[in-house]
Amino acid sequence: MMRHNGFRMAPAKQSGVGLIEVLIAVLVLSIGFLGMAAMQARSLSMNNSSMARSFAVMESYSILDAMRADLVAAQSGAYNVASVNASGSGCPTATGTLADAQLTQWCTQLVAGLGASASGSINCTGSLGLCTVTVTYDDSKSVSATTDTTGQQTVTTQAML
């Protein structure tokens, strides 16, 4: 045995990392990676939900801008629709008036951006020019189990023409 400054040095008994320590480290890393993967999946889901909500707001403003361009027709109620169901045949047909053509285009854009279950309604209060545009769409792909079970989202926009 070697002596160092009068003390006896103990011989080295452990020469490497034990198998148990390696298994515990792998388990901790695996749990961390699973947590990161779940967080990434949730992030992608919320990103898609945010994009759909932004699209619904843009479409609301789009029809309001079209109504401002055709103000006389908007104030007379030509744009008022109780419910535009965007599932194909529910879209109004362009009958020759500017209001019908713009409503048809708006409905087509809702279907293209939010899916066939999207619907919208427009209600203007005559000469005051206060209009309410409501867009409803299915957002069930990003439904949180703790907050919502239906997935129906509604965006309501009010504006003065």
Backbone angles phi, psi at 119, to 5 degrees: -145, 160
Q: Does position 21 have pLDDT exceeding 50, yes or no? A: yes
Q: Mean pLDDT across the chain, nearest whole number?
A: 82
Question: Backbone dihedral region of 5: left (phi > 0), alpha (psi from -120 to 50 degrees) or beta?
Answer: left
* Mean pLDDT of all residues in 81-98: 72
Residue 37's pLDDT band (cuts 50, 70, 90):
very high
Q: Does position 36 have pLDDT exceeding 90, yes or no? A: yes
Q: Does position 105 have pLDDT exceeding 50, yes or no? A: yes
Q: Which two tokens stand for residue 9?
A: 């040095």
Residue 4's pLDDT band (cuts 50, 70, 90):
low
Q: 3-class secondary structure for the chain?
A: CCEECCEECCCCCCCCCCHHHHHHHHHHHHHHHHHHHHHHHHHHHHHHHHHHHHHHHHHHHHHHHHHHHCHHHHHCCCCCEEEEECCCCCCCCCCCCHHHHHHHHHHHHHHHHHCCCCEEEEEECHHHCEEEEEEEEECHHHCCCCCCCCCEEEEEEEEEC
How far, in Å, CA of 110 to CA of 59, rounded?
7
* Mean pLDDT of all residues in 114-121: 86
- pLDDT higher at 70 or 142: 70
pLDDT at 146: 47
Q: Does position 143 have pLDDT exceeding 80, yes or no? A: no
Residue 124: Cβ within 10 Å count: 22
Residue 142 near residue 150, CB atoms below 8 Å: no
Query: How many Cα atoms occupy the beta-carbon half-sphere of 65 within 13 Å?
Result: 7
